[in-house]
Chains A and B, each alone.
Chain A
Amino acid sequence: MALLEVKDLEVNYGLIKAIKGVSFDVNEGEIVALIGANGAGKTTIMHAINGIIPKFAGSVTLADKDITAIHAHKLLPLGMAQVPEGRRIFQELTVYENLQMGYYIGRDKAQFKARLEEMYSRFPILKERSSQIAGTLSGGEQQMLAMSRALMSGPKLLLLDEPSMGLSPLYVNTIFDMIKEVNKMGTTVLLVEQNAKKALSIANRAYVLEIGKIVKTGTGTELLADEDIRRAYLGG
Chain B
Amino acid sequence: MDFIITLVNGLSMGGTYAMIALGYTMVYGIAKMLNFAHGDIIMIGGYAILVGLSVNPLLAVLFSMLFCMLLGVLIERVAYRPLRGSSPLAVLITAIGVSYLLQSIILAIPQFGADTHYVVIIKDLGSLQIGEVLIGYDTIITLAITIVVMVSLTLFIKFTKTGRAMIAVSEDRDAARLMGINVNFIITLTFAIGSVLAAVAGFCSLLDTPWLEPYYGSLPGIKAFAAAVIGGIGSIPGAMLGGILLGIVECLCNSVQEIAPYTIAIEFIILILILLVKPTGILGKKRREKV
Contact = CB atoms under 8 A, between A and B. Distances in A.
B158 to A, nearest CB: 9
Contacts of B107: none
A101 B165 contact: yes
Interface in B130-166: 161, 164-165
A142 B182 CA distance: 24
Given A81-B178, A104-B179, A166-B291, A90 B172 contact: yes
A133 to B, nearest CB: 11
A97 B291 CA distance: 21
Interface in A70-115: 71-77, 81-82, 84, 86, 88-93, 97, 100-102, 104-105
Interface string B167-203: 1100110111111111100000000000000000000
A233 B179 CA distance: 33
A148 interface: no
Given A91-B288, A135-B290, A139-B290, A101 B177 contact: no
B167 A92 contact: yes
B174 A93 contact: no
Contact of B180 (A52, A153, A165): A153
Nearest to A150: B178
A50 interface: yes
Contact of A52 (B167, B174, B181, B291): B174
A72 B168 contact: no
A101 B168 contact: yes
A73 B183 contact: yes
Contact of B171 (A86, A91, A105, A166): A91
Contacts of A84: 174-175, 178
Contacts of A153: 180
A101 B180 CA distance: 9
B189 to A, nearest CB: 14
Contact of A93 (B168, B181, B291): B168
Contacts of B288: 91, 135
A194 to B, nearest CB: 14
Interface residues of A, number: 33
Given A50-B178, A84-B174, A91-B171, A101 B164 contact: yes
B38 to A, nearest CB: 24
Contacts of A73: 176-183
Contact of A101 (B179, B183, B285, B291): B179
A76 B179 contact: yes
A104 B175 contact: no
Contacts of A139: 290-291
B164 A72 contact: no
A72 B177 contact: yes
Interface in A136-183: 139, 142, 149-150, 153, 165-166
A30 to B, nearest CB: 22
A166 B290 CA distance: 10
A214 B181 CA distance: 32
Q: Which of B167, B174, B177, B180 has the most CB of A within 10 A?
A: B180
Nearest to A138: B290
B84 to A, nearest CB: 13
A72 B173 CA distance: 11
Contacts of B176: 73, 101
Contacts of B165: 101, 104
Contacts of A149: 179
Interface string B259-291: 000000000000000000000000001001011
A102 B180 CA distance: 8
A3 B178 CA distance: 19
A167 to B, nearest CB: 10
Contacts of A101: 164-165, 168, 176, 179, 181
A26 B167 CA distance: 34
Given A52-B177, A101-B179, A88 B290 contact: no
A185 to B, nearest CB: 21
Given A88-B172, A90-B171, A104-B181, 8 more contacts: A73-B183, A88-B178, A92-B171, A101-B168, A104-B180, A142-B290, A153-B180, A165-B291
Top 5 A-B pairs, shortest CB-CB distance: A76-B180, A72-B177, A105-B180, A88-B175, A73-B177
26 contacts: A50-B178, A71-B182, A72-B178, A73-B177, A73-B178, A73-B181, A73-B182, A73-B183, A76-B178, A77-B180, A84-B174, A84-B178, A88-B178, A91-B171, A91-B288, A91-B290, A92-B171, A92-B285, A93-B167, A93-B168, A93-B171, A101-B165, A102-B179, A104-B179, A135-B288, A142-B290
